[in-house]
Structures are given as structure tokens and as C-alpha cells.
Chains A and B, each alone.
Chain A
Amino acid sequence: MAALAADLAAGRRSALQLADDALARAERAAALNSFIRIDADGARSAARAVDAQRAAGAALPALAGIPFAHKDIFCTRGVATTCGSRMLRDFVPPYDAQVVERLASAGAVSLGKTNMDEFAMGSSNENSAYGAVANPWDTARVPGGSSGGSAAAVAAGIVPFATGTDTGGSIRQPAAFCGITGLKPTYGRVSRYGMIAYASSLDCAGVLARSAADCAIVFDAIAGFDPRDATSVARPAEATAALLEQPLAGLRIGIAREYFGSGVQAGVGERVHAALRELERLGAVLVDVSLPNAHHAIAAYYVIAPAEASSNLARYDGVRYGHRTAHARSLDELYSLSRAEGFGAEVQRRILVGTYALSAGYYDAYYLRAQKVRRLIANDFAAAFAGVDLIAGPTAPTTAFRLGEKAGDALAMYAADVNTVAVNLAGLPAISLPAGLAGGLPAGLQLIAPAFAEARLLNAAHRLQLATDWHLQEPAA
């Protein structure tokens, strides 16, 4: 991205050329199905505007003229926003999400909206109403989810970065499966305003890019307090991009033994250990840490997230916007048929699970207990961070699995989130980095930091990427 920015600044290429090139690449890679909607006209007109500003001599931000894509969960004024659902197939938001506003005002040029699991519920992108997405490394495999379209588009080189959201790993796991870098910021760092809700207490906007340095530039552009989001944190954001180069000498990295359990593929474990050795060589000190409640994370997550989703998705009732059944004979049928027709199977499953978990008589046993587990998990991290600066482990226990491999088995699919969900439950920032290939497929290293320590996270990731070339590996065209 730095090279593109330099080309733009020097006038060697225009934003319009970059946009056209990206559009052409998207067309060539259409088989990946990484986009739900490409807005070529919008992209070109945004690019022309940046070129005009530059021609007028304006000092422009680093992202001005850089093409990118938005996950189709961010509301874009005048551009259909489906959230991967049939329910919102024709939904055109009348407003822009905060993240969309921020990147637009930074001059970044959006190509369109990327594919995703419906309402961000999924770990394979197979739950999209607009078709599955193929992994550019092996088109028979999934790109991960739910930000699968964003990950595939970046890995295939269509755009240098894309926005994503991460509720239980939805940025990091696809980043790992697609061999790119994905940053999930601290909960509250980036406004959720205009980001269609899945599980409000866990949802987090972030970025997928080719490098930690690129993630830092985008993060700096989108982070910050937003009065329109009551969970947004009023805390001055440090410019992480300026802190990337600090040496790692003395950085204490905790190795969470619970993240290297029997479910971790041997090849993935090897790659992660190799990355950790490299960090050690760069001056980091590796320390064993324990997160004793880690194995409860999946269970707690799959109560809390569906519970919140069951309520968040109640607004899709066929009354004001979104899909409305043509067959209702009563108000109850308007609701039940609109929702049965508009929502896919996984979304319906989670609404049912969540409704059950919140029901009278079950609330204490499920929702309340899950919240207690959530606190224990957060306490585990707090205790571990008393002795270390970062915690490391594999992002996902495996490399990308085959399309359809887990489609019929919800529990096996949920298990793919084993190393990522705890981070959301604790609201912490984390990053997934390429750690080289295992069996020809990318493996991901996850680094986790204490709340608001994105700069430390990006610094460590960047130093590792300066010393290695894993993040430069690309799938065969």
C-alpha cells in the first residue's frame, strides 16, 4: 500500500487508474465470488474526486486514492447493503456507517461490498445467501468466515485492504485461512454505528490487509470515539502507524498452552512455533501462560451471541424494510413467513438457540451462567497479562477446510472458533498474521494484547513481517 501511495503522490499513477485496475482484477477473479456488489461507477467517481483534489494541490491522507472493499455489513448510503441475507436483498441504507464515513473522508476508494456469512454468522462463508466464496489458495476450500469475501478479495490481490467485522473470530480466522493479516481492535475502539448488528457486546469492526503496517494505517483512520455509539470509548487513539518500528527487545510473549491442544493440526502448530522462534530471535521473551477457562469459551459464546442475535434480528419483521412475504393472511404469518423466507438456516438456528437461552426458566441456567463464564475468561486474560505483554497461539487449529466439509455439522463448524472467541468475550484486541504454509495452505499466528494496546500488537506484527516473508506469499494466480 505504501508503494501505491508513493505512486499516487508522485503522480506516476492516478487514483482512477488504481480503481480501474482493481475493478479489472475483480472481474478476472469473479469466480471467487468475493463480492456481493461491485459499485464501479461509485468507485470511479470517488477516484476522480481524489485525483481532482490532488491536482488542486491538496495535502491528502495516506489512504487517499487507495482502492478497497467494504464487508457488506456496513451501511453505505445509496448502495444496497445485504449483510449476506436474502432478508436485506433490496435494502438500500439512507446513511453511511461511521467506518464508511471515516474511510471516505480519508479518500479511500470503495470498489463495492464483499461477500459474508449471513448476518456474520458462520466460519466458512458458506452461509451467504449470495453463494459461497472460494479460497484463492485452493478454490475447493473455504476462505473462512464470516468476513470471507473480504479475506479472499485481499488474498487474491483485488484490493490491498478490506473492512471486516469480528464477533467470534470473523476477521482473524479468514485472515489465517487466506494468508493475510487481520486486525480485530479492542471492543469500543471503532464505532459500531452503521454496522449491522449480530451480537452487540461482541461485534467489532476491523481490517484485513496484506501487512500489519497496512492494517495500522487503516486502523488509525477508523478508530476513535463516536457519540452515536454508546459503547464507543472516549479515549484518544494513539497513531499506531508511528509506533510500528520500535524494537521488540524484552517484549514478553505468553504462550497459552490451552491454544495448542490436541485439535491443532501438526503443520499449523509447527508454523506457529516457527513464528514464535522468529519473534524470540527479534528480542521477545517467550513465557508459558495459562488461560484455564479457555475451553469454556465456545459454550459461553454460543449462548451469548445467539441470545443477543435473537433480539437484534427481531427488527426484520417484514413491516418497515427488508423481505416481506407475499403469502401472509395474518399478522403472525407476516412475521413468521417473512422471517422463514428471509433468513437462512444458520441464522434461524441461532435465533432459536438465543430465544431459548433468554426464555423464562432458562435465563439463569444459560444466559446468566454464560455471562459468569465470560467474566472468568476476562479474568484469565487479566491475570496472564499481569506477567506478559502479548499472548500468542494459532489463530485457528487448522488450515482452510474444504467447501462443504463441515456444512452439515454445526458443532464441528463452531469448533473452528476455539482460539478466537475468548478474545471477543474479553473485548481484547488481537491480530492474525501469516506464519507460512502448512501443506500448501496458509497457517495463522494470533497475537492478543490487553485492551487498547493495538499499537503494541501492530508493532510486534510489523517487526515480525520485516524479518520474514510469509505475508508476501501469494496464491498462484
Chain B
Amino acid sequence: MNAQVQPAASAWQAVIGLEIHAQLSTASKLFSGASTAYGAEPNTQTSLVDCAMPGTLPVPNREAVRKAIQFGLAIDAAIAPQSVFARKNYFYPDLPKGYQISQYELPVVGAGRLRVRVDDGRVIEVEIQRAHLEEDAGKSVHDAFHAETGIDLNRAGTPLLEIVSAPVLHSAAEAVAYMRTVHTLVRWLGICDGNMQEGSFRCDCNVSVRRGSDAPLGTRTEIKNVNSFRFVEKAIEYEIERQIRALENGESIVQETRLYDPARHQTRPMRSKESADDYRYFPDPDLPPLVIAAADVARERDALPELPQARRERYVAVLGLPDADADQLCADRATADYFEAVLAALPGQAKLCANWVLGEVAANLNEAGIEIAAAPVSAAALAELLARLRDGSISGKIAKDVFAAMWAGEGGADAIIEARGLRQISDSGALAAAIAAVLAEHPAQVADYRGGNEKLLQFFVGQTMKRTRGQANPQQLNELLRQKLAAP
């Protein structure tokens, strides 16, 4: 027998699959007419169906089904002409019926794929096994009553789309990049608000490790309900390390559900799958198979917006934008749409438009803590400003001042430029006069310059700008100054 060299720790391969739960942004619940709005007083958004009153029955929300179809089309998956709602049976106080209505054997969305750009610049194609509709459970409230647990059923019955990736991710970075891509997509489609703090977008991470990519899959653990990108990254990193350490110490991995503790950046066991419930899935006899006509799918396909991936690629290939700009612009649809609206008024000026959207606009949004939809400067208003910049009426520096005034609500670009007298001085006569005055005021510096200290050019630029209150066309100013200084 050959003596085998133990592979180094770097030979371990992590295998990760994510189950993302995206709350579908419908007005009412998956099987009842109750509202899905977040943050209401406990148990004020519960219908008889949601509290599982005897005799009540579920009726599917077609809007949730439509949103599931849209997602399926966006990941290039087959939409099942017939899918089946199944009951997942288990007892828990915040599960009023004693079962959750989900989809098991026949999900509404079949296998699809999503191209994901990882931070290191690689593009990976992630296989998505399925996406299915299911209802959320209620919440147990542990701090409202002394020594007793309260139940809030407002969330019970809220529609979720569970998006299940194949175990094809191999690092925390890939997992997070994939999760971000899905997050962008569901918001882009308008099927989920993506609000992770409110739990509208959360995920379970299945993690295992193996020695090299040819080895059989290792035993996996599932980290439940992680609700931020950073936590997903930390939890997976921790879990990979923990598993490798355990295996290298000769221990084995127990198949179990673990919870991520953000305070300690650790995962810890929640319950062991070996003793887990048998969910006794079976088709829900209250709900006939969900039938989706080909015409309905076709209608959704026709109404599908240009998807982020396609748009990103177009920005690079057709508009010539750098990858980084395209990525940032396509991080959400409102930003990309804003950019396109600006660009529509300034054809051919993609880079200029991108610079402003990702620069001044993004910075101001960030500072104000608002979304682009609420930006006080509309795309049309920004386009008007950039047109003045393009035609030389104002300099880039003045443009930023004008933008700040626009942001502050002082009016449109032209009005501000006029009111403040900011129009750039491009008249060479006026500029020459200003230069002559400056040179006359500083004879010593002029002599110095002419003696070879050409660095002083910036001094004269500054002085002339000051004299023209910044309105001098900088390029023209430079040229004229050089001329005047060269010729005594």
C-alpha cells in the first residue's frame, strides 16, 4: 500500500447550499384575505383562516402565484403547469393549524440558474433546484407576559417563496454573492421588498466540507434563519472552520440544525435532525392542484422587465461602462432606471451620467439615508444640470455647487445658475482682462515664474478664479495664462 500524504488543510472543499425565504410583497396573505403589513399590533392582522378556526379553509392568493411565476421566469426555470400544495405537520404554538401549507413533491418553480459575480471578479453559474410557495408561521413572544409566552399570528400565513440552491457554492464569499444576486433580483422584479431587518428576506445555510472536490459529500449542518449578508458570511465561515477542525481532530459531524449567534460570531446546535419531527408531508386535501395555464406564463414573460444581469451586460458592452459602474448601477432597479432616465436626455454620455449617479447622487442619498425614489433631484433635473456642464456654461466644480443647491430645494439648474450668476466666463476678452489684473497685482510672482518656477501657474489660476468667483472656464484660463506669462 502506498503511504498517503495527508492533504493540507487547504485541500478541504466547502459545499454550501442556501434556502432563501423571500416574503412575497402581496397585500394579503397566501391563503386568507388578512393584511400582510409589518409592525401592526399583535393579532390585529389575523383572519379566521389565520387562527385556524374550525371549519375555515385556505384559498390561494393568485397574486402570490403570479410573483412566483415571475421569479421562475427570471431564473430561466420551468413553471409547473400543475403544482401541489402539501401539508407539513408539526406541533408548535405559533403554528395554528398544526401544519404549514407548503409545496413538497411538485413545486411551482422547477430548476433554474443564476449568474453570480463573486467579489474576486469570477462569474459563477449557480443552479437553483426549485422555488416553492409556502406560508409563514406566527411568532412566539417571550417578553410580553411574565412567565408566559404570547402568540402573535400577524405573520401567520404570510406568503413566502422558498428558493433552494443546489449545493454548488464553495465559500462564504460565493454564498453571499449568490444571496445578494437573489436579493437584487427579487427586489428588481418587485416581488419582495428585501427588508432583511423585518425578516422579509432570510436564509438557511446548509454547510458541509469534504477533502477535495471529488470526495463524496460530507455530513451537513443547517444554520437556520440568518437575516443579514454579513451574518451569512460569518456563520458560514465559522461553520466551515468548525467542521474542518472537528474532522481533523478525528471527530465526526452530526447532522443537525444550528443557530448563528451574532454576538459571538458562532454557530451552536439547536436540535438534532436525528430526533427531528417526521413532518408527514401529504397533499393538502383542501387545495386542488395549482393549475397555471401556458397563457398566464406567457403573459408574465411578456411583462418581465429587462433583468439585472442583462442590463449589467448591456451597460458594459453597449454603453462602455466599467464593470464596477455597471455593477453598482444594477444593484437595484430604481438606480438603474434613474441612470437610464438621465442618459436618455444626454445620449452618448453614459460615463458622465454614471459618474454623477454613483457620485453626487449616491453620496447625498447615503447621507440623507433615503432611497433613490425619494431623491429630491429627479433624473430630469440632473440631466438639465449635466447639459449645462456639457455645453460649457458651468464648470464641474460649479456643477457640484449647483447640485447641492438643487438637492436643498432651491430650484432647477438653470434657475440657480442664473440667480447666482454662475455662468462660466468663456469670453476671452473678459478673461484676459481678469488675467491682466492678476498679473499686475503680483509682479514678483510673475518674475519668479518667468525665471523658471512654473509651479506658480496654479497660484495664478487660483487668483484668477477668485477674481472671477470661480466662473472662469478652467481649460481656457490655463491656456490664456500660459500665453500671457510666456510673452512678457
Instruction: State how many angstroms separate the Cβ of A433 from the closest Cβ of chain B.
Output: 30
**In the bound complex, what is the Cα–Cα distance between A193 and B49 (angstroms)?**
10
Q: Residue B282 contacts which of A93, A227, A313, A363 (CB distance < 8 angstroms)?
A: A363
A230 & B89 in contact (Cβ 8 Å cutoff): no
Instruction: State how many angstroms separate the Cβ of A192 from the closest Cβ of chain B.
Output: 6
A320 partner residues in chain B, CB cutoff 8 A = 51-52, 96, 151
- Chain B positions 91-128 with a Cβ under 8 Å from a chain A Cβ: 91, 93, 96-99
| In the complex, residue of chain B having the shortest beta-carbon distance to the beta carbon of A81 | B54
Of B51, B52, B53, B278, the most chain A CB neighbours within 10 A belong to B53
B91 partner residues in chain A, CB cutoff 8 A = 314, 317, 335
Which of A152-160, A177-185, A354-362 is near enough to bind chain B?
A: A354-362
- Chain A positions 294-314 with a Cβ under 8 Å from a chain B Cβ: 307-308, 310-311, 313-314
Q: With contacts A193-B56, A355-B280, A360-B278 known, what are 20 further pairs, Cβ within 8 A?
A: A93-B53, A94-B53, A95-B48, A192-B55, A194-B55, A196-B55, A201-B285, A228-B57, A230-B58, A230-B59, A231-B57, A231-B287, A231-B288, A308-B285, A313-B98, A320-B96, A321-B53, A358-B281, A359-B278, A359-B280
Interface string of B34-75 (1 = CB under 8 A from A): 000000000000001001111111111000000000000000
Of B48, B56, B96, B281, the most chain A CB neighbours within 10 A belong to B56
| In the complex, residue of chain A having the shortest beta-carbon distance to the beta carbon of B149 | A331
**In the bound complex, what is the Cα–Cα distance between A196 and B52 (angstroms)?**
11
Instruction: State how many angstroms separate the Cβ of A367 from the closest Cβ of chain B.
Output: 6
9 A-B pairs within 8 Å (CB atoms) are namely A195-B55, A196-B55, A229-B57, A230-B57, A311-B87, A320-B151, A358-B282, A359-B278, A359-B280
A75 & B55 in contact (Cβ 8 Å cutoff): yes
Given the known A-B contacts A93-B53, A192-B57, are A315 and B98 also in contact in the complex, defined by CB atoms under 8 Å? yes
By size class, the interface of chain A is: 35 or more
**In the bound complex, what is the Cα–Cα distance between A228 and B55 (angstroms)?**
11
**In the bound complex, what is the Cα–Cα distance between A83 and B96 (angstroms)?**
19
Is A260's CB within 8 Å of the partner chain B?
Answer: no
Q: Residue A314 contacts which of B51, B97, B284, B288 (CB distance < 8 angstroms)?
A: B97
Is A239's CB within 8 Å of the partner chain B?
Answer: no
A contact residues vs B (CB 8 Å cutoff): 74-75, 81, 83, 88, 91, 93-95, 97, 192-197, 199-201, 227-231, 307-308, 310-311, 313-315, 317, 319-321, 331, 335, 355, 358-360, 363, 367
Is B286's CB within 8 Å of the partner chain A?
Answer: yes
| In the complex, residue of chain A having the shortest beta-carbon distance to the beta carbon of B33 | A228
**In the bound complex, what is the Cα–Cα distance between A193 and B380 (angstroms)?**
54
Of B58, B93, B280, B287, the most chain A CB neighbours within 10 A belong to B280
A199 & B285 in contact (Cβ 8 Å cutoff): yes
Given the known A-B contacts A196-B55, A230-B286, are A314 and B89 also in contact in the complex, defined by CB atoms under 8 Å? yes
A75 & B54 in contact (Cβ 8 Å cutoff): yes
B60 partner residues in chain A, CB cutoff 8 A = 230
**In the bound complex, what is the Cα–Cα distance between A74 and B55 (angstroms)?**
8
Of B52, B53, B55, B280, the most chain A CB neighbours within 10 A belong to B55
A94 & B54 in contact (Cβ 8 Å cutoff): no
A311 & B55 in contact (Cβ 8 Å cutoff): no
Given the known A-B contacts A227-B59, A363-B282, are A311 and B53 also in contact in the complex, defined by CB atoms under 8 Å? no
Q: Residue B93 contacts which of A200, A229, A321, A331 (CB distance < 8 angstroms)?
A: A331
**In the bound complex, what is the Cα–Cα distance between A97 and B53 (angstroms)?**
11
Instruction: State how many angstroms separate the Cβ of B257 from the closest Cβ of chain A.
Output: 17
A93 partner residues in chain B, CB cutoff 8 A = 53-55
B53 partner residues in chain A, CB cutoff 8 A = 75, 93-95, 321
B87 partner residues in chain A, CB cutoff 8 A = 311
| In the complex, residue of chain A having the shortest beta-carbon distance to the beta carbon of B90 | A314
Instruction: State how many angstroms separate the Cβ of A211 from the closest Cβ of chain B.
Output: 29
Interface string of B276-305 (1 = CB under 8 A from A): 001011101111100000000000000000
B54 & A315 in contact (Cβ 8 Å cutoff): yes
A196 & B58 in contact (Cβ 8 Å cutoff): no
A228 & B59 in contact (Cβ 8 Å cutoff): yes
Sort A-B residue pairs by CB-CB distance and give the 3 closest, nearest first.
Answer: A314-B98, A201-B285, A200-B285
**In the bound complex, what is the Cα–Cα distance between A74 and B59 (angstroms)?**
19
B58 partner residues in chain A, CB cutoff 8 A = 230
| In the complex, residue of chain B having the shortest beta-carbon distance to the beta carbon of A203 | B285
A91 & B282 in contact (Cβ 8 Å cutoff): no
B282 partner residues in chain A, CB cutoff 8 A = 307, 311, 358, 363, 367
Instruction: State how many angstroms separate the Cβ of A410 from the closest Cβ of chain B.
Output: 22
Given the known A-B contacts A230-B288, A311-B99, are A197 and B55 also in contact in the complex, defined by CB atoms under 8 Å? yes
B281 partner residues in chain A, CB cutoff 8 A = 358
By size class, the interface of chain B is: 20 to 34
Of B54, B55, B281, B284, the most chain A CB neighbours within 10 A belong to B54
B280 & A311 in contact (Cβ 8 Å cutoff): yes
**In the bound complex, what is the Cα–Cα distance between A277 and B97 (angstroms)?**
50
Q: Residue B286 contacts which of A200, A313, A367 (CB distance < 8 angstroms)?
A: A200
**In the bound complex, what is the Cα–Cα distance between A91 and B98 (angstroms)?**
18
Of A229, A317, A355, the most chain B CB neighbours within 10 A belong to A317
Instruction: State how many angstroms separate the Cβ of B99 from the closest Cβ of chain A.
Output: 5
A91 & B56 in contact (Cβ 8 Å cutoff): no
A91 partner residues in chain B, CB cutoff 8 A = 54
B56 partner residues in chain A, CB cutoff 8 A = 193-194
Instruction: State how many angstroms separate the Cβ of A226 from the closest Cβ of chain B.
Output: 9
B59 partner residues in chain A, CB cutoff 8 A = 227-230
B93 partner residues in chain A, CB cutoff 8 A = 317, 319, 331
Instruction: State how many angstroms separate the Cβ of A440 from the closest Cβ of chain B.
Output: 39
A193 & B57 in contact (Cβ 8 Å cutoff): yes
Instruction: State how many angstroms separate the Cβ of A465 from the closest Cβ of chain B.
Output: 33
| In the complex, residue of chain B having the shortest beta-carbon distance to the beta carbon of A229 | B57
| In the complex, residue of chain B having the shortest beta-carbon distance to the beta carbon of A88 | B54
| In the complex, residue of chain A having the shortest beta-carbon distance to the beta carbon of B279 | A360
**In the bound complex, what is the Cα–Cα distance between A363 and B87 (angstroms)?**
14
Of A88, A192, A197, A319, the most chain B CB neighbours within 10 A belong to A319
**In the bound complex, what is the Cα–Cα distance between A221 and B98 (angstroms)?**
34
| In the complex, residue of chain B having the shortest beta-carbon distance to the beta carbon of A95 | B48
B97 partner residues in chain A, CB cutoff 8 A = 314-315
A193 partner residues in chain B, CB cutoff 8 A = 55-57
**In the bound complex, what is the Cα–Cα distance between A292 and B88 (angstroms)?**
35
A359 partner residues in chain B, CB cutoff 8 A = 278, 280
| In the complex, residue of chain A having the shortest beta-carbon distance to the beta carbon of B278 | A360
**In the bound complex, what is the Cα–Cα distance between A94 and B54 (angstroms)?**
10
**In the bound complex, what is the Cα–Cα distance between A215 and B60 (angstroms)?**
33
**In the bound complex, what is the Cα–Cα distance between A83 and B87 (angstroms)?**
23
**In the bound complex, what is the Cα–Cα distance between A337 and B155 (angstroms)?**
28
**In the bound complex, what is the Cα–Cα distance between A331 and B53 (angstroms)?**
21
**In the bound complex, what is the Cα–Cα distance between A196 and B48 (angstroms)?**
13
B287 partner residues in chain A, CB cutoff 8 A = 230-231
B284 partner residues in chain A, CB cutoff 8 A = 200
| In the complex, residue of chain B having the shortest beta-carbon distance to the beta carbon of A336 | B91
**In the bound complex, what is the Cα–Cα distance between A228 and B58 (angstroms)?**
8
**In the bound complex, what is the Cα–Cα distance between A193 and B151 (angstroms)?**
25
Instruction: State how many angstroms separate the Cβ of A190 from the closest Cβ of chain B.
Output: 13
| In the complex, residue of chain A having the shortest beta-carbon distance to the beta carbon of B52 | A315
Instruction: State how many angstroms separate the Cβ of B106 from the closest Cβ of chain A.
Output: 14
Instruction: State how many angstroms separate the Cβ of A275 from the closest Cβ of chain B.
Output: 34
- Chain B positions 400-451 with a Cβ under 8 Å from a chain A Cβ: none
**In the bound complex, what is the Cα–Cα distance between A355 and B284 (angstroms)?**
15
A315 partner residues in chain B, CB cutoff 8 A = 52, 54, 96-98
A310 partner residues in chain B, CB cutoff 8 A = 89, 280
A229 partner residues in chain B, CB cutoff 8 A = 57, 59
Of B51, B57, B98, B278, the most chain A CB neighbours within 10 A belong to B57
**In the bound complex, what is the Cα–Cα distance between A88 and B58 (angstroms)?**
21
| In the complex, residue of chain A having the shortest beta-carbon distance to the beta carbon of B58 | A230
Instruction: State how many angstroms separate the Cβ of B159 from the closest Cβ of chain A.
Output: 15
Instruction: State how many angstroms separate the Cβ of B46 from the closest Cβ of chain A.
Output: 10
| In the complex, residue of chain B having the shortest beta-carbon distance to the beta carbon of A332 | B91
A335 partner residues in chain B, CB cutoff 8 A = 91
**In the bound complex, what is the Cα–Cα distance between A123 and B108 (angstroms)?**
40
| In the complex, residue of chain B having the shortest beta-carbon distance to the beta carbon of A319 | B93
**In the bound complex, what is the Cα–Cα distance between A381 and B323 (angstroms)?**
66
**In the bound complex, what is the Cα–Cα distance between A81 and B53 (angstroms)?**
12
